[in-house]
């Protein structure tokens, strides 16, 4: 089970590491962190560096592709070799997935035309630019493409995928192994968030109408 993660500067690192922590525990998982070139990619913020051990020129297929998002996805959209690589790998995968605004990279690569898809709540409308139908759900599966909502949703997406790939017992063992029994202190839904919370987020995101 060869699992390729596309990484790049200014990614939101939890987008990638949530799924990494789940999918690396699949039986016979072989994970590859793939950058346009090899070397350290700096997350957003840059105080975290992660290693791309492979360049896109060195990886020509995968069973699972995971595309994270973050501010850097806009630069990736402007890099034809990276978009071509995403298309090339997608042609070989069993599952092509994204987390957060990684779906905008899938969209820019032309993979979401006519498909239902999701992304971070603050970017949902953008999916329409790529011919996708924006869906406000935590995980959207359409054919072999699975898109997840913002950042932490990659953990749920990866467990969903683990279940698809390896069945319920393996997937639950992974969930129990990473003790994913969440107890968040607040309601994390943007549409239900109090006005002062949304005001704080408005500088960075398009805030939704309140539910």
Interface with a copy of itself by CB under 8 A: which range of 78-86, 89-97, 125-133, 197-205? Answer: 197-205
Structure token digits, residue 83: 């978009």
From candidates 37, 40, 91, 143, binder to a copy of itself by CB under 8 A: 40
SS3 30: strand
- Nearer to a copy of itself by Cβ, of 91 and 173: the residue is 173
Asked whether position 135 contacts a copy of itself by CB under 8 A, the answer is: no
Asked whether position 169 contacts a copy of itself by CB under 8 A, the answer is: yes
Q: Rounded to whole angstroms, how far apart are CA atoms 160 and 167? A: 10
Q: Residue 59 CB, nearest distance to a copy of itself (Å)?
A: 13
DSSP output for 31-100 = EEEEESSSEEEE-SSTT-EEEE-EEGGG----SEEEE--STTHHHHHT-HHHHHHHHHHHTT-SEEEE-T
From candidates 6, 11, 17, 64, binder to a copy of itself by CB under 8 A: 17
Distance of CA 176 to the CA centre of its chain: 22
Q: Residue 73 CB, nearest distance to a copy of itself (Å)?
A: 15
Peptide bond before 45: cis, by omega within 30 degrees of 0?
yes
Residues labelled as active-site residues: 100
Please give the residue ranges that form the binding site for a copy of itself (CB under 8 A).
12-14, 17-18, 20-21, 24, 29-33, 40, 45, 47-51, 53, 100, 120-121, 138-139, 149-153, 155-156, 159-160, 163, 168-173, 175-190, 193-194, 196-198, 200-201, 204-205
């Amino acid at each position: 089970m060869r699992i390729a993660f596309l990484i790049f500067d200014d990614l939101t690192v939890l987008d990638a590491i949530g799924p990494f922590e789940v999918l690396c525990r699949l039986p016979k998982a072989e994970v590859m962190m793939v950058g346009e070139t090899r070397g350290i990619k700096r997350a957003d913020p840059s105080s975290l560096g992660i290693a791309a051990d492979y360049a896109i020129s060195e990886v020509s297929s995968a069973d699972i592709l995971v595309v994270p998002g973050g501010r850097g996805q806009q630069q990736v959209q402007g890099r034809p070799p990276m978009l071509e690589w995403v298309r090339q790998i997608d042609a070989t995968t069993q599952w092509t997935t994204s987390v957060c605004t990684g779906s905008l990279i899938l969209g820019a690569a032309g993979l979401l035309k006519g498909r239902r898809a999701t992304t971070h709540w603050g970017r949902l409308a953008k999916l329409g630019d790529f011919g996708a139908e924006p869906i406000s759900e935590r995980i959207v599966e359409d054919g072999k493409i699975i898109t997840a909502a913002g950042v932490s949703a990659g953990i749920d997406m990866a467990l969903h995928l683990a279940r698809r790939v390896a069945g319920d017992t393996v997937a639950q063992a992974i969930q129990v192994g990473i003790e994913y029994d969440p107890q968040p202190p607040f309601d994390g839904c943007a549409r239900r968030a109090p006005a002062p919370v949304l005001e704080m987020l408005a500088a960075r995101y398009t805030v939704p109408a309140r539910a």
